[in-house]
Structure 1
Amino acid sequence: MSRETEATTDANPTRKIIHIDMDAFYASVEQRDDPALRGRPLAVGGSRERGVVAAASYEARVFGVRSAMPSVTARRLCPDLVFVKPRFDVYKAVSAEIQAVFAEHTAIIEPVSLDEAYLDVTENLRGLPTATAVARAIRAEILARTGLVASAGVSYNKFLAKVASDYRKPDALFVITPAMGPAFVEALPIGRFHGVGPVTEAKMKRLGILTGGDLRARSLAELQAVFGSASGYYHGVARGIDERPVRAHRIRKSVGAETTFSEDTTAFDVLAERLQPLLDKVWTTCAGKGVAGRTVTLKLKFSDFAQITRARSLGAPVASREAMAQVSLGLLRDVFPLRRSVRLIGVSLSGLDTGAGEAPRQLGLAV
């Protein structure tokens, strides 16, 4: 059942921001198109033996299955989990339908991925009286056109709109008004802050920062000493302040993933093995966003916390996950023999484009 809060952001004379997030998008598309999958725990991507989960249905999430989780871990948590291959061409087509709904309400749209976007509806194209009304109309039209459910968050800035869309998922519309904002943030667990990842969350908790109120109690100087350039953002959002605009043509520069080891290593085979799920994650993310990249970058952080990067740029976008792996492993071989043990490995793909032009060619790589 859909859950909505009846409130508006109209008391604020400045901005009205909506964050739309499709509920379990890839999995929901698969369940929509195959009735046999409905009601079953479902993972899109990976397989029972290897790879990573690109998306999980809500039935699978009950068991703790999450996106970016290794398939073997997901299968262990949920033995009855059904794996299906992703169909990114279908997801892109559905995303285009959803984007068309957005465009009927505002021209200021910042897509984050195929299933997520920010909309500035301070002035909406249909002349609806409130931002809440716009969000309600968008949700209804997405459901009518695609058969899929979207959750929406409405607020006066991007940070709170994002928090709101996630607050009562799935199938929810939640509004955080200017009057609610500071108090709402004060009670928010720090792990629910967009922009605070697991590593930063752990660091904040070690410092006794467990909620927005704890974060607000720290001065900007204190935050700068620990969090550097991100401190201004944390200082602002802890007070319900986020001045970032909705950017209609947001360009992502790179997609990457990294992992820190419980034990350092100097073994090539171990590093190569730990690189594999990162490659899966980066390739799945790029495919899901409909982007391709020309530059592969390998990152290593050593036991003394020094780090290096090695990159290779190609003449055309990398055509496959296997090609990206071949380049990455070549970069890894080039840094051997190692004089220090490695505590972190990462890989990224940059030089991104949307693939709107010539299709990527399979490259003959000599690495």
Structure 2
Amino acid sequence: MRFDSPEAFAAALADLPGPDAAVRDAASARQAQLTKPAGSLGRLEEIALFMAGWQGKARPSLDRARAVIFAGNHGVTRHGVSAFPADVTVQMVANFEAGGAAINQLAREAGLDLHIVALDLDNPTADFTDGPAMRADECLNALNRGAEMVDADLDLLAVGEMGIGNSTAAAALCARSLGGDVRDWVGPGTGLDATGVAHKVAVIKRALAFHAGAPHDAFETLRRLGGREIAAIAGAVLAARHARVPVMLDGFIACAALAPLVAQQPSLAEHCLAGHCSAEPGHRRLLHQFSLTPLLQLGMRLGEGSGAAVAVPIVRAALATHNGMATFAEASVSGKL
């Protein structure tokens, strides 16, 4: 999928395919015959049916599972909204590529093919307190860089991010897209204290006021208040929806990339699983807006796709039981009377 214009992006967002209901029903019929009381595997059963419907296979698989970490730099860091300097983005990308980060270990253990996509790190987005973060062509390029990472034969896509300052962009996107008090969306990010959080709130309020008169459609909100890595996640998730590839979401920032899309098209996240609920305070509120229940709550707030990767083995467990268990007839076990 490619977005050649803002109008093409809007058209893709307006016309979303759904899961294969007949295949999901076939998978449900198999679930009913497995050697266990109905519902006794809880959410594992729900996950298996979810995967079946989106993959279009009554016995879904996880042979081609991919994690993509998008990285970008943000001009808003000039206001001191992060505890770390912007140089850390480049340094962490080098760490990813050398195999030394948390996501490298977690992706390997989860059986994920890991890709790192660095987006013009030498050219941060503009400071969005006094102008749009990106030009239209820059935002389209980022959306397409994300969409390019989606192959139609993927069984699962996990998305994550790296970008100093991007929790500020994420909170701004959520506040503009979903409303509420700005303070409800702002957290410590990389480790700000209370004074730093209050300063971040003030910076975001200034940005929201500057852009108040701009159109509120998903594309304009992304380009004005987002970042390249955030727009890339949005492009990847939208492309995955059109390819009917299920998506495992990471934490607050990865989910915030979808806030403008969900505000315009509430069903956008229906092909997504929430890997975890992060310790960043806005994440729980965001998942509620998406009607997603996280698989894990481990107090994580690292980003870089780490929570998504930790949750993937749960999907593997769901598919192993769904596909590998015997039916009552196969096992010669008496079913419920």
TM normalised by structure 2 equals: 0.29
1 or 2, which has the higher strand percentage?
1
| Greater relative CO, 1 or 2 (CA 8 Å, sep 6+) | 2
Structure of greater Rg = 1
